[in-house]
Each structure stands twice: as structure tokens, then as C-alpha cells.
Amino acid sequence: MTFSPELEKRFADLLTHYPEGRQKAALIPMLMYGQDEVGSVSPELMAEVAKRLSIKVIEVEEVLGYYSMLHRKPMGKFHIQVCTNVACMLVGGTELYDHACKKLGLTHLETQKGGNFSLEEVECIGACSWAPAIQVNYDFHHHVTPEKLDTILAGCK
């Protein structure tokens, strides 16, 4: 499998971050950064990472099944993550999530046909004091109202 030069450099750097013989520690970062480029933790990505770390594919599977940000299937080009945890819930997070479901015609962890949008109801994303909060891919948006969400979605092109 070939990656962009930036990702290759990142992978090479990562391998120098840990004590000798403990390079498996690079596994989770490699899957995260790899997923960003490849679109998902595909079987090919798993096999490639396992090969580079000299570990078994099952060890990659173990990790993949545990972490909620690692996905086997590609999410949308714009992955909309709406927090409904308690601080957001108190100021309209639940209604915001319902609005997003209707607007996108999706529910939790679904992706639109054509792959532009996907939706996820997420746990606290560390924006409680500026709630309700969402993330579009890695970008935070604070004090989001349904109207503001519409504008954000309209800007996702």
C-alpha cells in the first residue's frame, strides 16, 4: 500500500517515539492518521500496519473493535458529530441532534448515499462551557443552534 509522503514521514517519525522493541505503541496513531488519508480502517490498511509493526492482524482487529473513532467503513466526507451529553443536553443538544437527523435523513452512524454526510451522536467532546457543541470532522463549532447548523451544513462542500 502506498501513502502520501507526509503520511510516510509521520509513520517513520512515530516509529522513533518508543523504546526499542515497543514499536507496537505506534499502532493507534497509525490507524488514526492512516484512516484520515484512506477514509477508513480498510482491510488493506490493517494488513499494511500489521506488517510494518510486525504484529498480527488480529492485534489490529482488537484495537479497531475498541476505539469509537476508528471505523471499518468510510464515514461521509463531512462527518457531523453532535454531542448530546449532559452539558449539551441542558441547552438544546438533544433537539440539535434531532434536527440534524431530520435535515440529513440519517441516524446514528449512518452515511448518505454518495458519501457527502455522515452523522454520529457523540459523547462529551470537551466543549461543555460553549455548548451545544458539534464537530465536523475535527473542527469544533460552539453554541450551535438548529439555524446555525443549517448554515454549517450548507457550507460543507
Partner 1 sequence: MSKLYNEPSPLEVKVVSKRFGLENSASIETYLATEGYLALKKAIGMTQEQIIDEVKASSLRGRGGAGFPTGMKWGFVPRQLDKPKYIVVNADESEPGTCKDRLLIEFDPHSLIEGILIGALAVGAEKGWVYIRGEYRYLIDIMDKAIAEAYARGFLGKNIAGSNLSFDLYTQTGAGAYECGEESALLESLEGKRGIPRIRPPFPAVSGAFQCPTILNNVETFCAVPPIIRDGGKAFADLGIPKAGGTRLVCIAGHVMKPGVYEVPLGFPMMKFINEVAGGLRPGRKLKAVIPGGSSCPILRGDECDLNMDYDSLAKAKSMLGSGGMVIMDDTTDMVKVALRIMRFYAHESCGWCIPCREGTTWLRKMLQRVTDGQGMTRDIDLIGDLAKNMLGRTFCPLGDAAALPTISIVEKFRDEFEAYVAKNPLAKNELVTVG
Task: Measure the CA–CA gap between 108 and 8, rounded to whole angstroms.
Answer: 33
Nearest to ligand FES of 23, 99 (CB atom): 99
Residue corresponding to grid cell 446555525: 148
The answer to whether 35 and 45 have CB atoms below 8 angstroms apart is: yes
Nearest to ligand FES of 105, 126 (CB atom): 126
Task: Measure the CA–CA gap between 146 and 102, rounded to whole angstroms.
Answer: 11
End-to-end CA distance of the chain, in Å?
Answer: 29
Among 14, 45, 64, 88, binds ligand FES (CB under 6 A): 88
- Interaction of residue 124 with ligand FES, rule CB under 6 A: yes
Residue corresponding to grid cell 505503541: 25
| Residue 31 binding: pick among partner 1, ligand FES, none (C-beta 5-8 Å cut-off by kind) | partner 1
In angstroms and rounded to an integer, the radius of gyration of the C-alpha atoms of the chain is 18
Pick from 43, 40, 35: which is nearest to 61 by CA?
43
- Interaction of residue 136 with ligand FES, rule CB under 6 A: no
- Interaction of residue 83 with ligand FES, rule CB under 6 A: yes
Residues that bind partner 1 (CB under 8 A): 17-19, 22, 24-29, 31-33, 53, 59, 62-63, 65-70, 84-87, 89-91, 123-131, 135, 138-140, 142
- Interface positions with ligand FES (CB under 6 A): 83, 85-88, 124-128, 131, 133
